[in-house]
Structures are given as C-alpha cells and as structure tokens.
Amino acid sequence: MTELRVSYTLDSTLETVDSAEQTASRIAAESGFDEDVVMQISMAVREAAVNAVLHGNAYDPEKKVKLDFERTGNDLVITIRDQGKGLDLAKIPDPLAPENLLKTSGRGIFLIRSFMDEVQIVPSQTGTEIKLVKHVHGPSADVKEASQ
C-alpha cells in the first residue's frame, strides 16, 4: 500500500461531517479495502466527525476540526481532533444495555469501536482526539510481508 499523509482543517459544520465521510471513503477505497470495509471506515469517520462538530465544538465557528489520514504499509490511521471541552468517557452509556436500547442517541462511539480494529480516545481540556486504525489484511499486505 502506497504511503500517504494528508491533513485537513475544517469548520464545525454539518458539511464537514459529509466531507470527512466522503474523504475517508475515497482514501479507504484507494487503499484497497473492499466495499464493506470502506463503508465501515467511512461510517466510523462520520461518527467521529459528528462527535467533534456537534458534541466537541458545538458548531462554534471559532473552533476547528482537524482530520488526518496516514496510510502506512500495514495500516490506515485516521485522527480526528476537536477543540471542545473534552469527552467524558465515563458518561458514555452502553447502548446495548436493555435500559438504553430505546434511547435516541449514544451509539456513535459504539459504532466506531465496532467498525475499526483499534480506537484510542484521548480527551483533554482543550479538546478530544480520537485515533482510528484499520489494518490491511488484503493481498497487498501479504505481498509486503513476504518481501520483507
């Protein structure tokens, strides 16, 4: 897989959410992931972007969302940072608990964790950073490993 590093600084708008999803879809497809995995990656990025725009930056026009894509030989790593007050991980309910099943929100982080191989969430007082990793399991990874 060809190495790549791109970075975007985006406004805290709904357009950013769509743009992040579309960019993730394109880069995942270019990276050789199959259609289902491309969908998973783009959806995880969309959910992370929603969290950044809506819950992190609260649509504040002064605050930005930073979106980084890094493609290495074995991984696609996507990092999304907001400038909000920092996500309180302890306050995220389990959306699969019976008492939460009929809640209308609270599934975003769960979906992100379901779709990605690794998820790191680092909240701080100056914002939240979420790092999403998808491993390459396809032929390109095998070829690379075989040549090492």
Q: Give the residues lining the site for another protein (CB under 8 A).
A: 14, 17, 39, 43, 46-47, 50, 54, 95-96, 101-105, 107-108, 110-111, 114
Shortest CB 74 distance to another protein, Å:
26
75-81 and 4-11 beta bridge pairing? unpaired
Phi, psi torsion values for 145, nearest 5 degrees: -65, -40
Residue with smaller CB distance to another protein, 105 or 124: 105
Q: Which is nearer to another protein, 54 or 141 (CB)?
A: 54
Strands 64-71 and 75-81: antiparallel
Contact 30, 90 (CB under 8 A): no
Closer CB to another protein, 103 or 144, in the complex: 103
Cα–Cα nearest to 110, from 27, 24, 51, 39: 51
**Min dist. Cβ of residue 17 to another protein (A):** 7
